[in-house]
């Protein structure tokens, strides 16, 4: 068997790849921030219908090593698409052992279904061609990749300004699939709920905040080793130009609603974190958060409010994080949405776990929830 590392999103080091017997690989840290170590993605080329064992031998040294309990590796025979499944995975003595009998010569394995750069470019171009999305390049990442803003809906000054951003953390690729689902929902002209929302609101979508990190196969950081979701308070044009560009676009537009989309390594549920730790958090924002939670419970069979992050103490919110920063500065409903790397344990899928398909469907549910709270946002 032969292991190769794809140019886009690929990341792993081959330790030992004998013609026969177990393959040994090592998970690598982020390109210039090796303290972040979780994402892996590689291709295996080998015999069909023959059981193989691939050992990720340093899994116990990853940043969220304990999150690999009850976790199964993702695999696909068509790695550019959304069709991914889980393979038998054992965590033993700090090693992650993947045991799989492939039905195809090429299999891509990854921490979660990667989102190809070419696919994003195609989705954005198709959105532009419908005439229903306005596409504006805000600027470029450190390595010169475009930070693109897609805008849907009303151009009126009176319109509510809704913002959704995804993939600040590049390894949280469920956010990228979510963004594709969101764009698809806004392009689905038949849906009266979407039409009503877009009549009164302008929805701004940043499908990928961190294109450099995503291409490099980083889990958490950009090309300068910055965790962008800790860069909002003091964004800089040398270390976090991606945040600086989007922050400026937010100031230019104004914000009535903000959603930052992420994935969580540990928690096997979909949940939302609010801005309760912000210095200027108020009863009004608290009530809006409750409204949105209730709208999500109504719209989505995957959403729940029992499990999630512990609440921040009053005044102790980290304003370097997008959700808190935007809530504090714009005094608006500002939320962080988390999807699981593993599965939704309230509705488990043995074969796929949490998946691109479910991430995209959740985006549609979020649009419904946005539509139902629109009247009370201002
Ligand atoms: Zn994240």
pLDDT tier at 272 (50, 70, 90 boundaries)? very high
- Given this model, what pLDDT does residue 190 score? 81
Residue with tokens 């979909």: 270
Which residue among 20, 338, 351, 357 is the active-site one? Answer: 338
Task: Summarize pLDDT for 151-185 with one digit per residue, the tens.
Answer: 999 999 999 999 999 999 999 999 999 999 999 99
Determine the pLDDT at residue 20: 83
Does the structure show a pLDDT above 90 at 28? yes
Write out pLDDT tens, residues 237-256.
Answer: 999 999 999 999 999 999 99
Mean pLDDT of 281-299: 98
Looking at residue 18, what is its pLDDT?
87
Ligand 1 centroid from CA 63, angstroms: 13
Say which DSSP state 40 is in. Answer: -
Residue 281 CA to ligand 1 centre (angstroms): 22
Q: To the nearest whole percent, how much of the chain has pLDDT over 70? A: 100
Classified by CATH at the fold level, domain 2-110 comes out as: Immunoglobulin-like (2.60.40)
Question: 262 with 246: CB under 8 angstroms?
Answer: no
Sheet holding 271-273, edge to edge: 134-140, 146-153, 201-206, 160-166, 257-264, 333-340, 271-273
- Residue 133 CA to residue 292 CA, distance in Å, equals 25
SS3 assignment, position 298: helix
Q: Name the DSSP class of 34.
A: T
CA of 170 to the centre of ligand 1 (A): 8
Question: What are the sequence ranges of the domains in the chain?
Answer: 2-110, 117-376
Q: pLDDT class for 58, splitting at 50, 70, 90?
A: very high
pTM of the model as a whole: 0.98
Contact 333, 288 (CB under 8 A): yes
Please name the residue ranges forming H helices in the chain: 117-130, 174-187, 192-200, 211-216, 241-253, 283-299, 322-330, 356-373
Q: What are the distances in angstroms from CA 280 to CA 65, 330, 331?
A: 36, 10, 8
Q: How far is the CA of 272 from the centre of ligand 1 (A)?
A: 12
The correct CATH number of 117-376 out of 3.90.550.10, 3.40.50.880, 1.10.10.10, 3.40.630.10 is: 3.40.630.10
Mean pLDDT of 196-205: 96
Verify whether residue 338 is a known catalytic residue: yes
In this predicted model, what pLDDT tens digit does every residue of 86-142 receive, in sequence order?
A: 999 999 999 999 999 999 999 999 999 999 999 999 999 999 999 999 999 999 999
Residue-wise pLDDT for 303-347, tens only, equals 999 999 999 999 999 999 999 999 999 999 999 999 999 999 999
Cβ-based neighbour number of residue 205 at 10 Å:
24
Distance CA 364, CA 182 (A): 6
β strands within the chain, DSSP E: 2-4, 13-16, 23-26, 41-45, 52-56, 74-76, 85-86, 88-92, 95-100, 106-110, 134-140, 146-153, 160-166, 201-206, 257-264, 271-273, 333-340
How far does the centroid of ligand 1 lie from the alpha carbon of residue 264, in Å?
7
């Amino acid at each position: 068997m032969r292991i190769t590392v794809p140019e886009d999103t690929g990341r792993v080091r081959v330790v030992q790849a004998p013609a026969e017997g177990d393959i040994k690989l090592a998970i690598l840290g982020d390109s210039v921030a090796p303290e972040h170590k979780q994402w892996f993605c590689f291709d295996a080329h080998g015999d069909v219908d023959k059981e193989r064992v691939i050992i990720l031998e340093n899994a116990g040294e990853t940043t969220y090593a304990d999150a690999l309990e009850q976790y199964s590796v993702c695999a696909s025979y068509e790695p550019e698409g959304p069709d991914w499944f889980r393979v038998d995975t054992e965590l033993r003595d700090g090693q992650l052992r993947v045991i799989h009998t492939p039905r195809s010569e090429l299999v891509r394995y990854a921490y979660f279904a990667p989102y190809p750069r070419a696919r994003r470019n195609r989705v954005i171009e198709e959105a532009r061609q419908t005439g229903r999305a306005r596409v504006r390049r805000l600027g470029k990442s450190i390595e010169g990749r475009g930070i693109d803003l897609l805008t849907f809906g009303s151009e009126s000054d009176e319109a509510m300004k809704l913002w959704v951003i995804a993939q600040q953390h590049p390894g949280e690729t469920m956010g990228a699939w979510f963004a594709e689902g969101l764009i698809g929902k806004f392009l689905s002209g038949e849906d009266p709920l979407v039409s009503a929302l877009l009549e009164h609101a302008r929805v701004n979508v940043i499908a990928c905040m961190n294109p450099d990190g995503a291409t490099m196969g980083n889990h958490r950081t950009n090309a300068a080793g910055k965790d962008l979701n800790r860069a909002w308070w003091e964004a800089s044009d040398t270390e976090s130009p991606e945040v600086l560009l989007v922050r400026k676009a937010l100031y230019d537009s104004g914000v009535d609603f903000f959603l930052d989309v992420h994935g969580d390594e540990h928690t096997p549920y979909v949940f939302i974190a609010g801005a309760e730790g912000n210095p200027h958090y108020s009863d009004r924002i608290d009530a809006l958060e409750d409204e949105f939670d209730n709208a999500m419970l109504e719209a989505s069979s995957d959403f729940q409010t029992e499990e999630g992050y512990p609440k921040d103490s009053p005044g102790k919110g980290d304003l370097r994080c997008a959700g808190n920063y935007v809530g504090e500065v714009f005094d608006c409903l500002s939320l962080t949405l988390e999807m699981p790397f593993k599965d939704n344990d309230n509705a488990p899928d043995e074969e796929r776990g949490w998946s691109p398909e479910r991430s995209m469907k959740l985006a549609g549910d979020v649009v419904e929830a946005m539509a139902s709270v629109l009247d009370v946002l201002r």
